[in-house]
């Protein structure tokens, strides 16, 4: 099913259906790339780059949450989104670091390259990270 993306969408091709062709590993690895861009922009004090990167990151999270294939994984995906938001724009109540979050997302990219699998069970990673100081 293809949906016409609204004008504010940054990833028009992905929002119109291409995102649904990606595996969960690929989706989360792409989210991780945008997270890394946002974290680097924050560290360098580049507000414009930060705004663009966080907008893209959240848009990709939202596209992933809307993907019906991951209905049973939405809690994990939403928790990862919450932790990223808490770190980048919140009070960082989970005591996250750019390094721990980069490592979380890098795991998806590495697994995809290494195994070629379409999906992995990784809910323990988000749950253990979110319990760290919750």
pLDDT in tens, 9-64: 555 556 658 899 999 999 999 999 999 999 999 999 999 999 999 999 999 999 99
- Residue range 71-82: mean pLDDT, rounded: 97
Q: What percent of the chain has pLDDT above 90?
A: 68
Q: pTM of this prediction? A: 0.76
C-beta atoms surrounding 78 within 10 Å: 14
Q: How confident is the model at residue 111 (pLDDT cuts 50, 70, 90)?
A: confident
Residue 90 has pLDDT above 60, yes or no: yes
- CA dihedral defined by 32, 36, 37, 43, rounded to 10 degrees? 160
């Amino acid at each position: 099913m293809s949906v016409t993306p609204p004008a504010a969408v940054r990833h028009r091709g992905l929002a119109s259906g291409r995102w649904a062709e990606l595996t969960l590993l690929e989706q989360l690895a792409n989210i991780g790339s945008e997270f890394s861009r946002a974290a680097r922009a924050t560290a360098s004090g580049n507000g414009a780059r930060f705004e663009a990167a966080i907008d893209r990151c959240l848009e990709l999270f939202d596209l992933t949450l809307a993907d019906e294939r991951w209905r049973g994984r939405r809690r994990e995906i939403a928790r990862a989104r919450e932790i990223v938001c808490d770190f980048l724009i919140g009070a960082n109540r989970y005591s996250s670091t750019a390094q721990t979050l980069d490592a979380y997302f890098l795991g998806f990219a590495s697994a995809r390259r290494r195994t070629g699998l379409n999906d992995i069970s990784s809910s323990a990673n988000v749950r253990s990270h979110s319990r760290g100081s919750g």
